[in-house]
Chain A
Amino acid sequence: AKGRNSRRRTYRTIDLARMMYKDTMTPADVLNKWRGAEDEEENIEEDDEDIFFKKSNQEKSDELAEDRAIPILDYDELESKWSLEDNLEALRRRFATADLLKEKIEDSGSDDE
């Protein structure tokens, strides 16, 4: 949960909406910037000067990139993630087995709109 909160700040929807159609940035760059990845400075630099170099890098990565419907996942990591009780409890809200009191609150909330 802590990770999610700290992530949210750099993860604003407005930023994505702004960058989504900027053709000077590749989708991968947009995502890096949006997620606030550490190499942000590097990215900005690249955007300014090295557009030509960046393009050739892009080609190289494209060579390996095929369309995937299922992303490549690290299953060991997933296993450890979903073995933790906290994570499971957080996910339990998304299942019908969650307690009913919460359900009522949520339902009335969504009906209001």
Chain B
Amino acid sequence: MSAPDPKFLSFTSQKSLTARLILSTLTGKPIRVSQIRSTSTTPGLAPHEVSFLRLLDSITNGSRATFSHTGTMFHYEPGLIMGSIDGQGAIGEVTDCSLPNTITRGVSWFLTPLCILAPFAKKPVNVRFSGEGVITGATECGDVSVDTVRTAILPLYEKFGISTAKLEIRVLQRSCAGPGGKGGGGVVELKFGSQVRLPKTLHLHRSPGRVRRIRGVAYCTGVSSSNNHRMIHVARGILNPLVADVHIATQYDQAPLVSSGDKNSKSGKKTTGIGFGISLVAESSVDGVLYSADVASPSRGGVTSEDIGKQCAYQLLEVISQGGCVTKVGTETVLVLMAMGSEDVGRLRLGRDVVGTEDAIGLARDLQKFGASSWGLRDVDEDDSGDIIVTVKGIAVGNVARKIA
């Protein structure tokens, strides 16, 4: 174990762990990740990361993960991406992913990378997230809400020749982050029914157009539904002078019940995941250009719904001002699909502050390490927006289960 096996690609730290795992699964290259929170007081993989590895295990065939004693290092050997197949981790063609109540990340943290894998699967990927750790709202850890995944990330797949008609995220029970930011009680179903031989590449290098309308979802779980209207009122006050067409839906749910572990209470249940939040998506006049913003109330409380609405509206303005055709939320999805897709050169216009993030640079380096070609960067010269055009050449990983289109 002392000398790393050369067939493993080595990475350190828990940063962009999901991106590395899906790249490893897609390219079939085993990885070795070490120094995971090695200097932290809670070393090793966090509960959400273990759950993600389990999830990968249930939708693939033959993948293997081995951990060190402390959990600060693990080896991952990817298998074939099968999807939800009965008898291989799925029942009734639905893979159940039960998340423990120690998880602090929102369900979008699982959904976004899972969706990148799904088009390459042999069979449709249907995953039902349940259990006491499913947080559908945005979280303080910086996860977007499930509404943003549905309205701002899934539509991006259409551009890759992956029909969005068979993609669906159904929220059966909403939940915000529970006490201490841990756990919720939500239930979310992902149905990803479009499997392709090879995703097409993308040409989004023209002007990103202008924002034509704003849509959104305001959600409350277990608190008065008037919070929805208060958030919407403030957000509209900021956005309406810029766009007249603002529609924000309201979602009011009762707080989810989870088992309390307390034998004294009558039902043995307690409510969790109380809170509220808002997700806003600005649609541009150019098809497929979406800007999104997300804010939810912190689990400790003490923030008024007006503040949440205001913060979300300002966050949306900030994201729009960064420009480009894809925002930070969607870059991982788009750039990974471009790199794994057909052997064409795709072009993508991104805001300067979107390319210039540690995440983007880290992703570029990871992609290169997995054998993808490096990005070309150049300035947009047709206007003074200062956007950067990223050119990505695909390596045609494709879907091994579908050799014939």
Q: Which residues of A contact B (CB under 8 A)?
A: 4, 8, 11, 13-14, 16-17, 20-21, 23, 27-28, 30-31, 34-35, 59-60, 62-63, 65-73, 75, 78-79, 81-82, 88, 90-98, 103, 106, 109-110, 112-113
Question: When the two chains form the complex, which single residue of B207, B211, B244, B310 contacts A110, counting CB atoms closer than 8 Å?
Answer: B207
Q: A20-B377, A68-B142 are in contact. Are A31 and B361 (CB under 8 A)?
A: yes
Q: A21-B374, A96-B212 are in contact. Are A4 and B207 (CB under 8 A)?
A: no
Is B163 interfacial (CB 8 A cutoff)? no
Is B107 interfacial (CB 8 A cutoff)? no
Given contacts A23-B365, A91-B242, A98-B210, list 12 more A-B pairs with CB under 8 A. Answer: A4-B386, A27-B358, A62-B13, A67-B17, A69-B112, A69-B143, A88-B241, A94-B323, A97-B243, A106-B383, A110-B206, A110-B382
Q: A8-B386, A94-B211 are in contact. Are A82 and B311 (CB under 8 A)?
A: no
User: A109 to B383, Cβ gap below 8 A?
Assistant: yes
Q: What chain B residues lie within 8 Å of A90 (beta carbons)?
A: 321
Quote the shortest CB–CB distance from A54 to chain B (angstroms).
14
Q: A4-B386, A20-B361 are in contact. Are A70 and B242 (CB under 8 A)?
A: no
Question: When the two chains form the complex, which single residue of A67, A91, A92 contacts B18, counting CB atoms closer than 8 Å?
Answer: A67
| B355: nearest chain-A partner, CB-CB | A16
Quote the shortest CB–CB distance from B325 to chain A (angstroms).
12
Quote the shortest CB–CB distance from B260 to chain A (angstroms).
29
Most buried by B among A62, A90, A98: A62
Q: What chain A residues lie within 8 Å of B241 (beta carbons)?
A: 88
Q: What chain B residues lie within 8 Å of A95 (beta carbons)?
A: 210-211, 242-243
Quote the shortest CB–CB distance from B116 to chain A (angstroms).
14
| B19: nearest chain-A partner, CB-CB | A67
Most buried by B among A35, A65, A95, A112: A95
User: A70 to B17, Cβ gap below 8 A?
Assistant: no
Which residues of B (284-342) have their CB < 8 Å from a CB of A? 285, 293-295, 307, 310-311, 314-315, 317-318, 320-321, 323, 328-329
A34 to B320, CA, bound (A): 22
Is B198 interfacial (CB 8 A cutoff)? no
A17 to B14, CA, bound (A): 25
| A93: nearest chain-B partner, CB-CB | B210
Question: When the two chains form the complex, which single residue of A31, A65, A92 contacts B242, counting CB atoms closer than 8 Å?
Answer: A92
Q: What chain A residues lie within 8 Å of B39 (beta carbons)?
A: 59-60, 63
Q: Which residues of B contact A (CB under 8 A)?
A: 13-18, 35, 37-40, 108-109, 112, 138, 141-144, 206-208, 210-212, 238, 241-244, 285, 293-295, 307, 310-311, 314-315, 317-318, 320-321, 323, 328-329, 352, 355-359, 361-362, 364-365, 368, 374-379, 382-383, 386, 388
Q: What chain A residues lie within 8 Å of B210 (beta carbons)?
A: 93-96, 98, 103
Quote the shortest CB–CB distance from A6 to chain B (angstroms).
13
User: A69 to B357, Cβ gap below 8 A?
Assistant: no
Quote the shortest CB–CB distance from B140 to chain A (angstroms).
10
Quote the shortest CB–CB distance from B374 to chain A (angstroms).
6
CB<8 Å pairs between A and B, sample of 25:
A8-B386, A17-B377, A20-B364, A20-B365, A20-B375, A31-B357, A31-B358, A35-B356, A62-B15, A63-B39, A66-B142, A67-B17, A68-B142, A69-B328, A70-B144, A78-B314, A78-B318, A88-B241, A88-B242, A90-B321, A96-B243, A97-B242, A97-B243, A110-B207, A113-B382
Question: When the two chains form the complex, which single residue of B37, B138, B242, B328 contacts A71, counting CB atoms closer than 8 Å?
Answer: B328
Q: A82-B317, A94-B323, A110-B206 are in contact. Are A70 and B16 (CB under 8 A)?
A: no
Quote the shortest CB–CB distance from A20 to chain B (angstroms).
5
A103 to B285, CA, bound (A): 12
User: B108 to A69, Cβ gap below 8 A?
Assistant: yes
A85 to B93, CA, bound (A): 55
| A31: nearest chain-B partner, CB-CB | B356
Quote the shortest CB–CB distance from A68 to chain B (angstroms).
3
A100 to B40, CA, bound (A): 56
Q: What chain B residues lie within 8 Å of A20 (beta carbons)?
A: 361, 364-365, 374-375, 377
Q: What chain B residues lie within 8 Å of A93 (beta carbons)?
A: 210
User: B315 to A73, Cβ gap below 8 A?
Assistant: yes
A66 to B238, CA, bound (A): 31
User: B328 to A13, Cβ gap below 8 A?
Assistant: no
| B327: nearest chain-A partner, CB-CB | A69
A94 to B359, CA, bound (A): 25
User: A91 to B352, Cβ gap below 8 A?
Assistant: no
Q: What chain A residues lie within 8 Å of B212 (beta carbons)?
A: 96
